């Protein structure tokens, strides 16, 4: 029995719970069902009690947690669905396929809702470039994202890439997808409805790949992650493209009642969730599932995570229409069974019932754990080893500070012809086709802030990207999160989890930007060492027009440069001083947005890691630099490298007087040089160092 | 009203909607042509084969699409002198169909490249009647296999016959022979290029030089 529990990754207590629910021991495929649906990945058993803290909704929310993705109303007939998801474990085991199927999976979450995917973004955390396998991991992950996203024809418009030793043994690969509903296009949901309706399998055939993937992703890595390679799925973006077109077509023609993609735990989780949510039962003939290999058995069929597959419910009357659409796009559409009066799901193999079970036992009655944690206090704050003061040239050439162009040049950023600002900018901007308004998209979470304090880091994961939106005149509307943490059974990890979830929830309320979708990834640890707790976020904002959006680099010679700082908090060299007042931050963000909307700013840039000097450098172009003085307003030169939560640099026409509090004139945009306190920074060398820095750290990559 | 512009759609084509919008933006009427169907050539004024990953680039870019039923009709149209334009994967398909000379192979550096490039018009064709040879425009590229290649003899024929349409004028991003970014047939009615004119139709997209190619497509 011990071996069996180990095989199915269930604890002894969970086994007792199953026996109590069933009134007997589980039999046959029931083992596999419980293993999959009670995995951390599917059941959110360690996080569920805390995720309820994201309950806040705004008037714009049309669909929040509980469906494949959240949906918000943009007004004027436009809606967007978006969500971010992790694919950390598979990407560490097999980087190309792991990352590629991460893209595929999150895209399915979007078009399952009826939205056409129009943008992708990725949040990546790698270890030090010198760590074992890291060059190959970077290569594989970036190629995998590019290979999949480019082929399906969805542009990758923004991203964030971090490097830190804590990810040496467990990288993070989080992908966000966003989809658009045009006027009148319906939101499609997953609850199965209507006794007698048909359950139809569409998409690629089922193979053995990814069997037990969900429970694999719910475990820490031992040393030999390579042995888990068969649990990684293989993706085919060509199939996904066909699936996008055919699914959107049947949804727009109202041929289907409900749709669910087959993601983690494949057919099991999709069918059980559809039935449980709809309060109906299903009768499914597993032997009718299209197979890649006739030797695949019922248990493998239930757990396979083969990619590019969906389950739909349609009325018998609409079946012919559904079949016609899928056949036209070259895909299988196979009736597996039907909706029956609830609550039980009946699984058949060659007309023999192999399992009959109430899906609520697996879903509603899944265990929920109140993992031990302690309430957050400033005592939890770490004094992190801050970056030693360094020359601008060193920062610009370091792996943290150097150009990410090697990455994003491999992504198609323009397919779909909506991209106003691409990956080279700090905020991605898409033009909404019918209203012509601007949709802003930006990712957040700064691991170095999280390493200092998980509560401040949690606030920052919302505030920092929100500031980036506000600095371009976008109103933040909603967010998604992807919570990457270590082992939740360790109280110190759980304390960080709870602190950052609560901070994120509070920040979302203050910003009036609810968390509408998300994902939790625990057990990001290898040999007992966890990653930096990393609650990645994706924020969506709206702007009335795409005209005159401030640039992120200097735009006109002679423009006046200002620094605008939110007073009260500084954060330098690993030491934090002051007090972060969330309500004050949110109010200041509102002021920034208001100002940028009212005043014509030629450029704006949020000051982040490495402080002001680096931010000013990043605003320089091959032609334009700046002459700035800091001494004038009484700060020591060392202050150039101080990171302050929060501040922005902005440039305006020189005849404009800014009389905003905490806003100082730094200097003027000039031609060709960057002079800081009269010292010439040699812009040409900086540009070369910035451009070539990547190559220096990743010499093995072509 | 002029006859519509036919836009070919294969399984895996992904720039089809973008081309549709661009055709509309230049005042023409677009119409879909599905890969599995032949069409009546006389019903259209011009044809565009958009970019994407037809058949997932399986076997070789464009080779499977080149065997589709719709290509039988397109071949007929090309032979009759109708304007035909291939963009990106569309160019690969036209090369694989032997409607255009040369082949497109993996970029030097073996990576997909998304960036803006500067192009120089080398020879006049049906699709650039508004421009003079030597004209320079800026368009985005997004491809992994856009390196133009032809054997010496064919290359000489192309160059001598004025079949080099566009070249990369400042930086050759992919290692194409003679910096070739676009080619045409001997009759100058069938043209193809790797850059995407449909992605450069508005200043907010980063430029509107794409109009220089798409606005001239229907002479009559």
pLDDT tens, A250-267? Answer: 999 999 999 999 987 789
Point out the residue among A153, A236, A410 whose CB comes nearest to the CB of B14.
A153
Q: Which range is least confidently modeled, A112-116, A197-201, A411-415, B130-134? A: B130-134
CB contact under 8 A, B55 and A417: no
pLDDT category at A633 given cuts 50, 70, 90 is low
Chain A's closest residue to B61, CA to CA, is A151
Structure token digits, residue A179:
């989809």
For B206, the closest chain A residue by CA position comes to A420
Chain mean pLDDT for chain A: 92
Chain B residues lying within 8 Å of A419, measured CB to CB? 205
pLDDT one-digit tens code per residue, A436-485: 999 999 999 999 999 999 999 999 999 999 999 999 999 999 999 999 99
Q: Per-residue pLDDT for A219 more than 80? A: no
* Class at the top of the CATH hierarchy for domain B5-214: alpha beta
Res B92 pLDDT > 80: yes
Cα(A693)–Cα(A239) distance, rounded to whole angstroms?
A: 38
Q: Is residue A53 pLDDT above 80, yes or no?
A: yes
CA dihedral angle for residue B58, residue B63, residue B69, residue B72, rounded to 10 degrees: 170
Q: Which residue, among B30, B142, B194, B200, would best test binding to A if mutated, counting the most A CBs under 10 Å from its CB?
A: B142
Cβ neighbours of B11 in A, within 8 Å: 238, 241-242, 329-330
Cα–Cα distance measured from residue A334 to residue A646, given in angstroms and rounded to the nearest whole number: 55
Q: How many beta-carbon contacts under 8 Å exist across A and B?
A: 80
Cβ–Cβ under 8 Å, residues A612 and A626: no
Q: Report whether pLDDT(A332) > 90.
A: no
Average pLDDT rounded to a whole number, residues A290-307:
89
For residue B54, the chain A residues in CB contact (below 8 A) are none
Q: How confident is the model at residue A662 (pLDDT cuts 50, 70, 90)?
A: confident
- 3-state secondary structure at position A460: helix
pLDDT in tens, A99-115: 999 999 999 999 999 99
Q: Is A635's pLDDT higher than 60?
A: no
Report the residue from B57, B58, B198 with minimal CB separation from A417.
Answer: B198
Predicted local distance difference test score (pLDDT) of residue A638: 53
* Residue B53 distance to chain A (closest CA, Å): 6
pLDDT tens string A552-603: 999 999 999 999 988 777 776 567 778 889 999 999 999 999 999 999 999 9
B130 interface with A at CB cutoff 8 Å: no
Interchain contact, B110 vs A410, CB within 8 Å: no
Reported ipTM exceeds the 0.85 cut? yes
CB contact under 8 A, A151 and B113: no
Per-position DSSP letters for chain B, written without gaps between them: -PPPEEEEE-TTB-SHHHHHHHHHHTT--EEEEETT----GGG-SEEEE--B-GGGG-SSTTTTGGGSHHHHHHHHHHHTT--EEEETHHHHHHHHTTSSSSEEEPPTTSS-EEEEEEEEE-S--GGGTTS-TT-EEEEEEEESS-EEE--HHHHHHHHHTT-EEEEESS--SS--GGGEEEEE-TTSSEEEESS-GGG-SBGGGTB-TTHHHHTTS---
pLDDT per residue over B187-216, tens digit each? 999 999 999 999 999 999 999 999 999 887
Q: Which residue ranges make up each domain of chain B?
A: 5-214
Mutation target for A interface from B9, B10, B11, B201: give the one with most A CBs within 10 A.
B11
The mean pLDDT value for A356-385 works out to 89
Q: What chain A residue is nearest to B115 in terms of C-alpha separation? A: A409
User: Is residue A75 scored above 80 in pLDDT?
Assistant: yes
When pLDDT is averaged across residues A613-619 and rounded to a whole number, the result is 95
Give the gap in angstroms from C-alpha B7 to the nearest C-alpha of chain A: 16
Q: Name every chain A residue with its beta carbon within 8 A of the beta carbon of B88.
A: none
The reply to whether A411 touches chain B by the CB within 8 Å rule is yes
**Active site (catalytic) residues of A:** 41, 87
Distance from CA of B51 to the nearest CA of A (A): 10
pLDDT of residue A333: 94
**What's the sign of the alpha-carbon dihedral A233, A236, A239, A241?**
positive
Residue pair A125/A162 in contact by the 8 Å Cβ criterion: yes
Q: State the maximum Cα–Cα separation within chain A, in Å, rounded to a whole number.
A: 85
Q: Is B88 a catalytic residue?
A: yes
- State the average pLDDT for chain B: 95
What is the bridge-based pairing of β-strands A475-484 and A534-543? Answer: antiparallel
A147 vs B contacts (CB less than 8 Å):
112
Lowest mean pLDDT of A13-27, A385-399, A509-523, name the range. Answer: A385-399
Q: Do A242 and B12 touch (CB under 8 A)?
A: yes
pLDDT in tens, B27-86: 999 999 999 999 999 999 999 999 999 999 998 999 999 999 999 999 999 999 999 999
- Judged by CB atoms closer than 8 Å, whether chains meet at A412 and B114 is answered as yes
At A221 the pLDDT is 63
Between chains, do A702 and B111 touch, taking CB under 8 Å as contact? yes
In chain B, residues with a C-beta closer than 8 Å to the C-beta of A243 are none
The pLDDT score that the predictor gives to residue B212 is: 92
Report how far residue A573's alpha carbon sits from residue A384's, in angstroms, rounded to the nearest whole number.
8
Average pLDDT over every residue of A185-201: 95
pLDDT at position B220 is: 40
Q: How far apart are CA A113 and CA A310, in angstroms?
A: 12
Rounded Cα distance between B220 and B217, Å, is: 9
Residues of B in contact with A142 (CB under 8 A): none
Facing residue for A415 by CB, picked from B57, B113, B142:
B142
State yes or no: pLDDT of A125 exceeds 70.
Answer: yes
Q: Are A309 and A201 in contact (CB under 8 A)?
A: yes
Give, in order, the Cα–Cα distances in Å from A232 to each of A74, A175, A226.
Answer: 37, 17, 10
With beta carbons under 8 A apart, name residues in chain B contacting A410.
111-114
Q: Please tell me which of the candidates B14, B18, B115 has its beta carbon nearest to residue A409.
A: B115
pLDDT surpasses 70 at A215 = no
Which three-class secondary structure state does DSSP give residue A60? coil
Q: Does A365 touch chain B (CB under 8 A)?
A: no
Tokens of A108: 């399915």
Give contacts of A242 with chain B, Cβ < 8 Å.
Answer: 11-12
Interface test with A, best of B37, B112, B203, B209 (most A CBs within 10 A): B112
User: Would the pLDDT of B180 be above 60?
Assistant: yes
Task: Please give the model's pTM, rounded to 2 decimal places.
Answer: 0.95
Q: How far apart are the CA of B109 and the nearest CA of chain A, in angstroms?
A: 6
Please report which confidence band the pLDDT of residue B133 belongs to, taking 50, 70 and 90 as the band edges.
very high
- Percent of chain A's residues with pLDDT above 70: 94
From B15, B88, B95, B184, the catalytic residue = B88
């Amino acid at each position: 029995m011990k071996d069996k529990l180990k095989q199915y990754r269930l604890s002894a207590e969970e086994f007792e719970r199953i026996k109590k629910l069933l009134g007997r021991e589980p039999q046959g495929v029931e083992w596999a069902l419980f293993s999959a649906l009670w995995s951390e990945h599917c059941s959110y058993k360690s996080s569920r009690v805390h995720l309820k803290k994201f309950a806040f909704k705004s008037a714009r929310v049309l669909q929040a947690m509980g469906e494949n993705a959240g949906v918000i109303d943009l007004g004027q007939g436009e809606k967007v669905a978006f969500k971010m998801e992790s694919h950390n474990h598979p990407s560490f085991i097999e980087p190309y396929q792991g990352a590629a199927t991460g893209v595929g999976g999150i895209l399915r979450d979007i078009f399952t809702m009826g939205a056409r995917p129009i943008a992708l973004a990725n949040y990546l955390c790698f270890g030090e470039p010198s760590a074992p396998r890291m060059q190959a991991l970077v290569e594989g992950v970036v190629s995998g994202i590019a290979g999949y996203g480019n082929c399906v024809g969805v542009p990758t418009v923004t991203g964030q890439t971090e490097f830190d030793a804590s990810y040496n043994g467990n990288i993070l690969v989080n992908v966000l997808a966003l989809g658009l509903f045009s006027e009148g296009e319906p939101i499609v949901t997953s609850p199965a409805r209507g006794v007698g309706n048909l359950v139809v399998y569409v998409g690629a055939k089922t193979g053995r790949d990814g069997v037990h993937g969900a429970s694999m992703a719910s475990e820490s890595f031992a040393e030999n992650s390579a042995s888990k390679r068969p649990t990684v799925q293989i993706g085919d973006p060509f199939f996904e493209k066909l699936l996008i077109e055919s699914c959107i077509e049947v949804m727009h023609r109202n041929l289907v009642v409900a749709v669910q993609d087959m993601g983690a735990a494949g057919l099991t989780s999709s069918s059980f969730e559809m039935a449980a949510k709809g309060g109906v039962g299903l009768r499914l003939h597993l032997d009718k599932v299209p197979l890649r290999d006739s030797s695949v058995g019922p248990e493998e069929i239930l757990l396979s995570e083969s990619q590019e597959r969906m389950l739909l419910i349609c009325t018998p009357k609409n079946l012919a229409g559904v079949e016609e659409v899928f056949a036209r796009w070259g895909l299988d559409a196979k009736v597996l069974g039907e909706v029956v009066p609830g609550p039980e799901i009946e699984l058949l193999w060659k007309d023999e019932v192999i399992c009959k079970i109430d899906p609520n036992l697996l879903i509603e009655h899944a265990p929920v754990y109140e993992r031990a944690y302690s309430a957050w206090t400033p005592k939890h704050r770490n004094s992190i080893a801050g970056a030693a003061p360094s020359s601008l040239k060193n920062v610009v050439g370091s792996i943290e500070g150097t150009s990410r162009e090697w990455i994003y040049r491999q992504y198609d950023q323009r397919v779909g012809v909506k991209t106003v600002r691409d990956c080279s900018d700090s905020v991605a901007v898409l033009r909404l086709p019918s209203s012509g308004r601007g949709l802003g998209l930006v990712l957040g979470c700064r691991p170095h802030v999280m390493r200092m304090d998980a509560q401040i880091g949690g606030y920052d994961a919302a505030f920092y990207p929100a500031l980036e939106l506000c600095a371009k005149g976008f109103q933040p509307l909603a967010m998604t999160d992807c919570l990457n943490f270590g082992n939740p059974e360790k109280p110190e990890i759980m304390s960080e989890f709870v602190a950052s979830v609560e901070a994120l929830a509070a920040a979302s309320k203050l910003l009036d930007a609810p968390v509408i979708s998300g994902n939790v990834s625990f057990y990001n640890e290898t040999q007992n060492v966890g990653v930096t707790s990393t609650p990645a976020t994706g924020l969506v904002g709206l702007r009335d027009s795409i005209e005159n959006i401030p640039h992120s680099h200097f735009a006109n010679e002679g423009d006046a440069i200002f620094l605008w700082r939110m007073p009260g908090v500084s954060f330098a060299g690993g030491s934090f001083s002051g007090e972060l007042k969330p309500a004050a931050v949110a109010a200041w963000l509102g002021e920034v947005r208001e100002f940028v909307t009212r005043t014509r700013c030629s450029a704006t840039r949020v000051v982040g890691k490495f402080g002001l000097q680096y931010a000013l450098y990043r605003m320089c172009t091959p032609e334009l630099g700046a002459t700035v003085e800091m001494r004038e307003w009484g700060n020591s030169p060392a202050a150039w490298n101080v990171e302050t939560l929060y501040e922005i640099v902005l440039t305006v026409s020189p005849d404009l007087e800014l009389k905003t509090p905490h806003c100082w004139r730094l200097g003027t945009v000039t031609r060709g040089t960057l002079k800081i306190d009269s010292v010439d920074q040699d812009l040409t060398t900086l540009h070369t160092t910035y451009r070539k820095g990547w190559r220096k750290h990743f010499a093995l990559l072509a | 009203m002029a006859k519509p512009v036919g836009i070919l759609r294969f399984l895996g084509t992904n720039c089809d909607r973008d081309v549709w919008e661009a055709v509309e933006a230049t005042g023409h009427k677009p119409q879909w042509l599905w890969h599995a169907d032949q069409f009546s050539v006389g019903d259209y004024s011009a044809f565009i084969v958009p970019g994407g990953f037809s058949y997932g680039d399986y076997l070789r870019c464009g080779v499977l699409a080149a065997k589709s039923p719709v290509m039988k009709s397109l071949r007929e149209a090309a032979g009759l002198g109708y304007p035909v334009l291939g963009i990106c994967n569309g160019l690969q398909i036209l090369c694989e169909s032997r409607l255009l000379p040369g082949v497109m192979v993996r970029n030097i550096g073996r990576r997909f490249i998304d960036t803006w490039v500067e192009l120089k018009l080398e020879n006049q064709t049906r699709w650039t009647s508004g421009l003079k040879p030597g004209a320079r425009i800026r368009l985005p590229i997004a491809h992994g296999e856009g390196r133009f290649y032809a054997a010496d003899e064919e290359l000489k024929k192309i160059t001598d016959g004025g079949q080099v349409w566009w070249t990369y004028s400042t930086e050759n991003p992919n290692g194409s022979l003679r910096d070739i970014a676009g080619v045409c047939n001997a009759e100058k009615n069938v043209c193809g290029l790797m850059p995407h004119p449909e992605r450069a139709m508005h200043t907010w997209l980063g430029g509107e030089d794409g109009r220089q190619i798409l606005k001239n497509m229907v002479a009559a």
